[in-house]
Every structure is written in structure tokens, then in C-alpha cells.
Amino acid sequence: MNARAIVVTSGKGGVGKTTTTANVGAALARQGEKVCVIDTDVGLRNLDVVMGLEGRVVFDLIDVFEGRCRLRQALVKDKRVDTLHLLPASQTNDKSALSEDRMKETVRRLTEEEGFDRVLIDSPAGIESGFQTAASAADGALVVVNPEVSSVRDADRIIGLLEAREISDVRLVVNRIRPEMVKRGDMLEVEDVLEILGVKLIGIVPEDERILVSTNVGSPAALDESTRNGAGGAFRDIAKRVRGEDVPYAQLQVQGGLLTGLRRLFGGG
């Protein structure tokens, strides 16, 4: 993607925006980019805990907007990857302080003055001022969608709003795919979602319980290079595609499928 400021959004809540922001952000940084992830969910701050950085938050986005601190003071540096930074949301519900102009100015300073290669903006759920502020500073978007009816409908609405903002670099992350349900025809396939929404794909992320484990301990799954399959690897692939690499899509594995059964029978892995 040519976009340097990318909003991560979905319309519907709980589909994996924050997980996607944390993991793609961490993977981009691990791949050598200087990355800032911004939490714009004012009043419901969560990117900090998902990334395990909650203990280091001093100032937040609203403090920056209101001039209570300098931009650099509000940036929380990651413990694992030193090119990864978090700009946290405030935990008090002062949405009135949100401003598209201040958001644009903050992102401009991050890229032009602070030398960030990429800024990922984690949008709140919904289509109200929080989303609009998050989208205002972006020149690209990752739309996260789950293969279920309400998420796809909300994604369509969000895509319309992004188009209205003339954000043209819009890519789709299909999250929480369950291969065994797809196989028996009880879950939309990635191709179905693409056909319905008419947006270009950038990632397919399988449902993976290791994501919950990784958020329990505050360490993005994408940073655990020992797991090649699963969600962590899928997020690393998304980061590579954001950087313009042509990465083939991994074959989703059906757990307990024929191959696994045969291997078990012959005492293999």
C-alpha cells in the first residue's frame, strides 16, 4: 500500500480492529519500519493493554490535542521492538476534544517531523465522530470483517463512508475464518465476502485461540515467530503486503481433517 496513514476500521465492534492494529503494527515494526499505532477509541482505551504497554502510559491523544504535553512525551515506546510506538487514547470520555484538524496535524507531525514510516490508526466501532476523526487523517484503510451477516453489512457501510472521504486505498482483512465451518457450507467463504463487498483483499486470518492467550499476556501473536501457521503468521503476511510484498495466501487448515487423521494413525505429528 502506498498509504502511510492507515485507519483500521470495521463499523461493528468486536471483530478484531484492535487485535489487527496491534499485530500488523508490531509486524511492520519487526520488518524494519518505524511505526506509530494510535488508539482513537476515546473513553474505551484498549490498544495499550492488548500490546502490554498499559503500565507505561503517562499522557494520551487528548493531552496532545489540548497541548498538555508535547507529542513526543505522549508516545509510549514498545519494550520488544524499539521502532514500535503507541499513542494511547484517553480513558476519560472527553469526546468533545476530538477534532479532525488536530488529528490531521498530529499524524502530519508523526510522519514529517518524527520520522515515522507508517501510522496505524485504530478506529472506534460505529460511524460517529470517533470513526470520522480516525478516518480524517488517513490515506488508506484496512477494513476488518468477520464472515457473518452483521459484520459484512457494517463493513459495506464503512466502505461507503471511506469512499465518501476519497480514501481510495481500501483493503479487506477477513478475520476469524473457521475452515471447518467453511468446508461444510456454514460460513461465508473469503470469495463470497469479496464478491459482496467489492474491495481488494489483503489478509485472511483464521480463528485462533492463541490470539486470546497473546492478549492475556500482552504480547502480539505476530511477534512470536515460532508459530508459522495461524493468526500470528497471517498478520505478519498482512504487514508484508502492506509493504508491497507479493505474499501468497496460506492454505487454511481444517483441524481434525483427513490428513491430520491419517498422520495421527501413523503416529506422525
Partner 1 sequence: MFGLFGRKRSKDHVKERLKLVLSYDRAKLSPGRMEQLKQELMGVIVKYFPAAESDYDVKLEQSGDRMVFTANLPLRQADA
Q: Which residue of 79, 153, 240, 241 would you call a contact of partner 1, by CB under 8 A?
A: 153
Window 185 to 214, contacts with partner 1 (CB under 8 A)? 185-189, 192, 196, 198
> Could you tell me how many residues of this chain bind partner 1 (CB under 8 A)?
17
Q: Which of 124, 115, 112 is nearest to 85 (CA)?
A: 115
Task: Please identify, among the stretches 8-16, 34-42, 133-141, 180-188, the one whose residues bind partner 1 according to the rule CB under 8 A.
Answer: 180-188
Q: Residues with Cβ < 8 Å from 205, sequence gap 6 or more?
A: 16, 20, 173, 174, 175, 176, 177, 231, 234, 235, 238
Nearer to partner 1, 94 or 207 (CB): 207
CA distances from 261 to 182, 211, 266 (A): 19, 25, 9
The answer to the question of residue 246 lying near partner 1 (CB under 8 A) is: no
Q: Which of 125, 56, 24, 41 is nearest to 89 (CA)?
A: 41
State in angstroms the smallest separation of the CB of 73 from partner 1: 44
Q: Residues with Cβ < 8 Å from 160, sequence gap 6 or more?
A: none
State in angstroms the smallest separation of the CB of 239 from partner 1: 29
Cβ-based neighbour number of residue 86 at 10 Å = 27
- Size of the chain in residues: 269
State in angstroms the smallest separation of the CB of 44 from partner 1: 26
φ, ψ for residue 145, nearest 5 deg: -135, 140
Nearer to partner 1, 44 or 181 (CB): 181
State in angstroms the smallest separation of the CB of 209 from partner 1: 23
Residue 19: all three cell numbers together? 487485535
Q: Which residue of 72, 77, 108, 157 would you call a contact of partner 1, by CB under 8 A?
A: 157
Nearer to partner 1, 185 or 269 (CB): 185
- What does the per-residue mask of binding to partner 1 show for 110-149, with x meaning CB under 8 A? --------------------------------------xx
The sign one gets for the Cα dihedral 135, 208, 84, 55 is: positive
Q: Which residue of 32, 55, 160, 257 would you call a contact of partner 1, by CB under 8 A?
A: 160
The answer to the question of residue 152 lying near partner 1 (CB under 8 A) is: yes
Q: Which of 44, 43, 36 is nearest to 8 (CA)?
A: 36
Residues engaged in binding partner 1 (CB under 8 A): 148-149, 152-153, 156-157, 160, 182, 184-189, 192, 196, 198
